């Protein structure tokens, strides 16, 4: 075993210092970096779209938009990097195969293992980066985005409520105002849907009202006049209606970030909560699914990176567009598989410790079969 480990170490050093390594790196790294940049840019823009309305309402500046990019990037990069590694490796090896260099390398005795070693080294490096993102950075990124939305909400409330727009100043609370004065703090014809308690749904209609900040500045008070409220339970089997001349609704400005979702929990806290004996089986399954997802998903970087080697060699004649299509299709196949087994794990139909690792097993099996074909047949053109 020691001699095998010494041989493997020597091969890694030899490949890393060889011309072959530099050749493969020159073909793989540029499309990989372009794919990382492009995918992260698209994902950041997609993340910004739901925030455009709160940003405009809060009169956000250019610096507010710039500040949003780094706090959203870690969570998005954990998805973008595995796909970028696959696209980079795939397009790089497709170019080598299309130019006939793969045939030349095999003809002079270069083994498939030596062709795989540079990609394995790159994939391991990217695996370490994605593991850091999913385990440590991404939860903090999601929590930072939530605090950012809470800050925008506070700024909007300080400027007054907008009229004729559904507005949610807190989780489970929705307001709609027909008319508001110039300050936005006195209004008429108000609709309120209050589902913050979870067990009941309270709907309020009032003819007029006003809003003011409490003395601490950490909350807002809505003083509603001349209206009625209807309260229904979760199953809508019982309702109560109450008419009022004045009703005071208090909202903490920090309520947006009081309840931390599982995606925002630190990984250690997530595991401690999952092992707590006070949780229901369904909640425990959801927490364990999130934990195993954070650990298992980075391995897709290694699996998909290695998959790109035989795919790039076999389909070298399909061109750049074909390579990108194959790469995106392969990643979507993995992601659909991940979503399917994640649902099984969260519902309790399958233990999360098995369900969240099944996509790696399935896609890893496909990768192993493609590598077997590469070792057996060499650079056969399948295009």
Least Cα distance to 206 among 170, 241, 177 occurs for 177
Query: Is residue 219 located within the same domain as residue 326?
Result: no
Q: Decide if 160 is inside a domain.
A: no
- Per the domain annotation, does 162 fall within a domain? no
Query: Beta partners for 212?
Result: 221
Range 189-195 contact pairs with CB under 8 angstroms and sequence separation of 24 or more: 190/224, 190/227, 192/222, 192/224, 192/249, 194/249
Provide the angle, in degrees to the nearest 10, between the axes of the packed helices 62-98 and 19-48: 140
Cα distances (angstroms) measured from residue 223 to each of 136, 245, 249, 266, 372: 43, 10, 6, 39, 72
Residues 271 and 310 in one domain: yes
The verdict on 274 and 373 lying in the same domain is yes
Domain span at 52: 2-153+262-377
112 with 240, same domain? no
248 and 266 within one domain? no
Closest CA to 244 of 210, 205, 193: 205
Domain boundary among 257, 290, 309: 257
Residues 41 and 130 in one domain: yes
85's enclosing H/E stretch is: helix 62-98
Q: CA nearest 32: which of 135, 125, 159?
A: 125
| In a shared domain, residues 250 and 118 | no
Is the domain of 51 the same as that of 22? yes
Q: Are residues 181 and 234 in the same domain?
A: yes
Q: Are residues 235 and 279 in the same domain?
A: no
**In a shared domain, residues 128 and 37:** yes
Query: From first to last of its 383 residues, what are the pLDDT tens digits of the chain?
Result: 555 555 555 555 454 447 778 888 888 999 999 999 998 888 888 877 777 777 776 667 777 778 888 888 898 899 899 999 999 999 899 888 887 777 777 777 777 888 898 899 999 999 999 999 999 999 998 888 888 877 777 777 777 777 788 877 777 788 888 888 877 788 888 998 887 776 567 888 999 998 887 665 567 888 899 998 888 766 666 678 888 898 888 877 554 444 567 888 888 888 888 888 778 888 899 999 999 999 999 999 999 999 999 988 888 767 667 767 777 888 889 999 999 999 999 988 999 999 999 999 999 999 999 999 888 876 554 44
| ∠ Cα 22 27 29 (to 5°) | 85
């Amino acid at each position: 075993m020691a001699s095998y480990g010494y041989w493997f170490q020597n091969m890694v050093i030899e490949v890393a210092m060889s011309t072959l390594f530099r050749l493969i790196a020159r073909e793989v790294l540029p499309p990989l970096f372009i794919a990382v940049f492009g995918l992260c840019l698209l994902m950041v823009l997609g993340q910004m779209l739901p925030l455009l309305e709160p940003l405009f309402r809060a009169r956000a500046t250019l610096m507010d938009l710039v500040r949003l990019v780094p706090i959203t990037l870690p969570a998005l990069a954990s998805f973008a990097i595995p796909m970028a590694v696959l696209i980079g490796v795939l397009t790089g090896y497709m170019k080598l195969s299309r130019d006939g260099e793969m045939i030349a390398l095999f003809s002079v005795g270069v083994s498939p293992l030596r062709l795989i070693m540079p990609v394995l080294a790159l994939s391991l490096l990217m695996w370490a980066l994605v593991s850091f993102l999913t385990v440590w950075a991404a939860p903090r990124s999601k929590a930072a985005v939530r605090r950012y939305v809470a800050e925008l909400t506070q700024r909007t409330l300080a400027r007054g409520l907008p009229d004729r727009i559904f507005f949610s100043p807190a989780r489970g609370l929705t307001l709609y105002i027909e008319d508001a004065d110039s300050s936005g703090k006195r209004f008429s014809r108000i609709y309120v849907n209050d589902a913050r308690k979870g067990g009941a749904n309270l709907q309020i209609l009032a003819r007029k009202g006003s809003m003011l900040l409490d003395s601490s500045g950490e909350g807002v008070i809505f003083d509603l006049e001349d209206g009625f409220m209807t309260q229904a339970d979760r199953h809508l089997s019982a309702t109560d209606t109450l008419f009022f001349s004045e009703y005071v609704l208090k909202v903490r400005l920090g309520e947006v970030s009081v309840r931390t979702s599982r995606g925002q929990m630190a990984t250690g806290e997530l595991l401690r909560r999952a092992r707590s004996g006070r949780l229901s089986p369904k909640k425990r399954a959801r927490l364990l699914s999130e934990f195993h997802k954070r650990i298992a998903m980075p391995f897709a970087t290694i699996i998909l990176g290695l998959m790109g080697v035989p795919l790039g060699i076999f389909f070298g004649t399909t061109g750049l567009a074909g390579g990108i299509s194959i790469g995106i299709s392969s990643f979507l196949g993995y992601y659909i598989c991940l979503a399917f087994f994640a649902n099984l794990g969260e519902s309790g139909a399958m233990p999360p410790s098995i369900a969240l690792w099944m996509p790696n097993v399935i896609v890893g099996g496909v990768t192993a079969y493609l590598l077997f074909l590469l070792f057996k047949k060499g650079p056969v053109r399948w295009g």
